[in-house]
Amino acid sequence: MINNIVDIFRKQASQHRSIKAFYYNRNYELGSGKEQHPLFWLEDPIGGRNQNNTFTNSVNFAVLFIPDKDRTITELQNLAFSTGLNIIERIKQDETSAIGIKPDWTYTTLRNYYDDNACGCRFSVNFVQVNMQNLCLIEDQFDENKGIEKEAALNNSSMKLPDNCEVFANKFPEFNIRTSKK
């Protein structure tokens, strides 16, 4: 199911004429300077809940540009909003996507976003999806004779240290960092 969700957004981002890169990752990886812009960033984690064999999922994604001298930040935010809106509407129209976008999505404008000072829009989208579990195969996932293997909580390592290495256990480090010239 997660692969399906990521693939739906990847497909739309890859086919959009403005987007040059797609990422599905945690936000702390964003802005490293290695990304190609304009980019579509689908945030991990994806959230969801089950209700009456229907999943309600939530995703956040951002459409980001790097400001330049040719366009203002607000122009790029407007372009990012338009791009995100087009992607949302195209998913809604795609009958093969197996998800239904709920009409309660939100957006937030972004500027000076992360280390590369990107700008654009971040969208939060809720959608529904039918429970895709084939209930006929549930028993194939279990073995009544299987048990949990018991192992030591901590591996007793027989690590051999080099002769010029010493380990001091239960000793706090002492930092003597000068904070003034005196």
Beta bridge mates, 128? 56, 100
User: Averaged over 4-24, what is the pLDDT?
Assistant: 95
pLDDT at residue 70 above 90? Answer: yes
pLDDT tens per residue, range 104-118: 999 999 999 888 889
Provide the 10 A C-beta neighbour count for residue 111: 13
pLDDT at residue 13 above 70? Answer: yes
pLDDT at residue 32 above 70? Answer: yes
Token pair for residue 20?
């040059």
Largest CA distance in the chain: 76
The one-letter amino acid code at 161 reads L
pTM: 0.77
pLDDT tens per residue, range 117-143: 899 999 999 999 887 666 677 788 888
Backbone dihedral region of 117: left (phi > 0), alpha (psi from -120 to 50 degrees) or beta?
Answer: left
Q: How far is CA 166 from CA 1, 59, 160, 169, 174, in A?
A: 50, 49, 11, 10, 17
Q: How far is CA 74 from CA 54, 84, 85, 132, in A?
A: 39, 15, 16, 41
Per-residue pLDDT band for 1 (boundaries 50, 70, 90) equals: confident
Please tell me the predicted confidence (pLDDT) of residue 164.
65
Please tell me the predicted confidence (pLDDT) of residue 58.
97
Please tell me the predicted confidence (pLDDT) of residue 29.
82
The one-letter amino acid code at 44 reads D
The C-alpha atoms of residue 100 and residue 13 are separated, in whole angstroms, by 18
Please tell me the predicted confidence (pLDDT) of residue 51.
83
User: Averaged over 69-79, what is the pLDDT?
Assistant: 96
pLDDT at residue 19 above 80? Answer: yes
Please tell me the predicted confidence (pLDDT) of residue 168.
58
User: Averaged over 40-60, what is the pLDDT?
Assistant: 93
